[in-house]
Structure 1
Amino acid sequence: MVMRASRLLSIVLLLQARGRMTAEQLARELEVSVRTIYRDVESLSLAGIPLYGEAGHDGGYRLVDGYRTRLTGLTADEAEALFLAGLPGPAADLGLGAVLATAQLKLKAALPDELSEGVGRVKERFHLDTSDWYVDPDSTAQLAAVVDATWSQRRIRMRYRRWAQPREVEREVAPYGLVLKSGRWYLVAESDGIRTYRVSQILRIQVLDNIFERPAGFDLAARWAEYLDDFDARRYHGDARIRLSTRALERLPHLLEPALVRAARDSAEPADRDGRIIVTMPMETVEHTAGLLLRLGADAEVLAPAELRGRMAEIATGLARIYRTNDAKGAVTEPQ
């Protein structure tokens, strides 16, 4: 009964939003048979909804002109912003794809004509993609269960894979909220303090019957901002002084993360007589920082710390040995 009532409402909203639709179009949109649409339209007519059918090739069902529920109080910019805020990818991850589509349909159907046209243009001209370039999206196999537990405020028991040893651990947590960052889902939960877990690293999950109470005034956005600040503070271990060519300094935004680029630009010293510029950037491990600087090739020279400079020299020596060996064997030529 609830499902049929929802379908009847959807028919009315579709006709309000699109003007005229055939029974076949309605059936495809609502994923039911044409015969079901005929029965639903008859029920709507008996209920006093002013709709009528037009025969012929260009016929279909439509509402009597003027029959519309109007949503007042929204400006054109506000209505367009609401549609721009809809993220189809993340909504689908959360199991809310159909809900989002229905909500947008209801909103558009309730808007006055002048606003409805505006939000239509937004959907035609803007698409939001939250994923990173060159990175496969995270697996969301356990996301549905995490969402269910978060909504119902039930504790979860999970097996989690982390970076430290032991790699796999058992955790029982109270899920407070989910955050989507660069196409990856993170769970903010309480377990001997507020902790953050990457959803793709949850190997197994069990939603428990235990209900928990969220702390009064808990602010998910504020907590996430604190986590990011703490993460940056923990991952950096000292600074690296690097001598860059001007070309390398220009290429930094395309090769390194924004925090490193800002640090380099803020610390840049006047160019020396060779046109090179000395900058200071925070560094994580020696191996990680060496990997980043290799992207710059000979346009970057590490001055300090000595351990990082030595690691770069080892890598350069190894590369030179490989290419000298290949040259001795003869250059590889393309087939004729």
Structure 2
Amino acid sequence: MRAGRLLSTLLVLQTRGRRTARQLADELEVSVRTVYRDIAALQANGVPVLGDAGHDGGYRLPDGYRTELTGLTADEAGTLFLTGLPGPAAALGLGGLAAATTLKLMAALPEGLREQATRVRDRFHVDTPDWYGTADDTPHLSAIARAAWEARRIEVRYRRWASPREVDRTLDPYGLVLKGGHWYLVAADRGDPRTYRVSRVLAMSPTGEVFQRPRDFDLAAHWRDYLAEFDARRVRGEMTIRLSPTGLEMLTDLLDGASARAVAETGVAGPDGWVTARIPYESVEHTTSLVLRFGEDAELLEPGWMRERLAASARAIAGKYAP
């Protein structure tokens, strides 16, 4: 543990230059007293850490000094793809590993490339959840991630939409997917891969058994197929809708991607600036809610029965606010 922390201290000084004891403590998540002890240990082992006094002082390495102890451990190598996603890495319980991996990669880069990589990190940040969404409560995410990593079978208590609401499942976790700020588990239930929302896992425990993950299973390809099947299953038909110029400006905020693309592909503008288009719809309830979001800037034209349902909803709403 301490050896790894000493190496991290050395790599921070190598990649980021002069650092005060407080800055090192914050970056390494230790106390200032621990930093003092670690610096003394490095100096005692021949590492030329220099200490500068004064307001602008701190610890630094001599110009040109460089250590080549930047090799990645097996666990750190496994977190390479998460080094730019600190939030998801922390949610999976891999935040520390991802940070250590990033630090080692930065230390291994030549000075010019290191400056460029630092500039990218300082100027670009990935934030996965939607604007108006809230993060799922996923207390079992880290344990599920470890089971998937180690190919270990698990037992879960899962809350479904359908009845019976709560079911017990024995699963072989193939992998995890982060979609729109929500985590999904792709796991085999009796050999058939299915998708489970991690926030709906009520309880989870390992069985102690190891499973054999299919060699030809491609998580990314499976997820693409799942999304295509999901889109095909949820669409019930098409409706014709008119949108005002203001409604068109709200399009991407209020409609899903498929509906927004349908407006762009089928929309025909009228002389009044309103655009008539055909878009897919799911259920009556979903469609009613969707059109009402636009207020007076949208009009549902077809199908007629859905238009009547929407008119009834509008009358009911108006009745609540009548003087």
Class of the TM-score when normalised by the shorter of the 2 chains: 0.7 to 0.9
Structure 2 counterpart of 1:330: none
Distance 1:38-1:280 versus aligned 2 partners, 3 A rule = closer
Deviation at 1:126, TM superposition (A): 2.0
Q: TM-score, normalised by structure 1?
A: 0.83
Q: Distance in 1 between matches of 2:144 and 2:82?
A: 26
Q: Distance in 2 between matches of 1:309 and 1:219?
A: 44
Structure 1 counterpart of 2:253: 254
Q: Distance in 1 between matches of 2:106 and 2:212?
A: 36
Structure 2 unaligned runs (5+)? Answer: 70-79
Alignment of 1:154-165 (within 5 A): 154-165=152-163
Alignment of 1:247-326 (within 5 A): 247-269=246-268, 271=270, 276-324=274-322
Supply the AA of the counterpart residue of 1:131: P
SS in structure 1 at match of 2:156:
strand
1:120-139 per-position Cα deviation (integer Å, ceiling 9, x unaligned): 22232222111101111111
Supply the AA of the counterpart residue of 1:179: V
Structure 1 counterpart of 2:228: 229
Deviation at 1:4, TM superposition (A): 1.6
The structure whose Rg is larger is 1
The answer (yes or no) to whether the contact 2:267–2:278 under 8 Å persists in 1 is yes
Q: Distance in 1 between matches of 2:223 and 2:171?
A: 17
Distance 1:100-1:132 versus aligned 2 partners, 3 A rule = same
Q: Distance in 2 between matches of 1:274 and 1:61?
A: 69
Distance 1:251-1:61 versus aligned 2 partners, 3 A rule = closer
Deviation at 1:20, TM superposition (A): 3.0
Q: Distance in 2 between matches of 1:204 and 1:221?
A: 26
Count of matched residue positions in the alignment of Structure 1 and Structure 2: 313
Supply the AA of the counterpart residue of 1:232: D
Distance 1:168-1:306 versus aligned 2 partners, 3 A rule = farther
SS in structure 2 at match of 1:20:
coil
Aligned residue among 61, 64, 72 for 2:62? 64
Q: Does residue 110 of the first structure (1) align with residue 108 of the second (2)? A: yes
Structure 2 counterpart of 1:200: 199
Identity of aligned residues (%): 56
1:132-172 per-position Cα deviation (integer Å, ceiling 9, x unaligned): 01111111211111111111111111111121222221111
Aligned residue among 4, 13, 16 for 2:14? 16
Supply the AA of the counterpart residue of 1:212: F
Alignment of 1:82-93 (within 5 A): 86-93=84-91
Distance 1:245-1:61 versus aligned 2 partners, 3 A rule = closer
The answer (yes or no) to whether the contact 2:82–2:89 under 8 Å persists in 1 is no
Structure 2 counterpart of 1:129: 127
Distance 1:289-1:22 versus aligned 2 partners, 3 A rule = closer
Supply the AA of the counterpart residue of 2:209: N
Q: TM-score, normalised by structure 2?
A: 0.87
Structure 2 counterpart of 1:176: 174
Structure 1 unaligned runs (5+)? Answer: 72-81, 328-336
Deviation at 1:41, TM superposition (A): 3.7
Supply the AA of the counterpart residue of 1:236: V
Supply the AA of the counterpart residue of 1:253: T
The answer (yes or no) to whether the contact 1:23–1:38 under 8 Å persists in 2 is yes
Supply the AA of the counterpart residue of 1:309: R
Aligned residue among 91, 94, 113 for 2:92? 94
Structure 2 counterpart of 1:212: 211
1:51-110 per-position Cα deviation (integer Å, ceiling 9, x unaligned): 344456655443232221479xxxxxxxxxx99961111111011112222222222222
Q: Distance in 2 between matches of 1:131 and 1:28?
A: 27
Q: Distance in 2 between matches of 1:24 and 1:286?
A: 59
Deviation at 1:262, TM superposition (A): 1.1
Deviation at 1:276, TM superposition (A): 4.5
Deviation at 1:30, TM superposition (A): 3.4
1:170-198 per-position Cα deviation (integer Å, ceiling 9, x unaligned): 11111000111111101011114111111
Distance 1:221-1:264 versus aligned 2 partners, 3 A rule = same
Distance 1:44-1:179 versus aligned 2 partners, 3 A rule = same
Distance 1:291-1:65 versus aligned 2 partners, 3 A rule = same
Q: Distance in 2 between matches of 1:323 and 1:57?
A: 65
Supply the AA of the counterpart residue of 2:264: R
Q: Distance in 1 between matches of 2:16 and 2:169?
A: 50
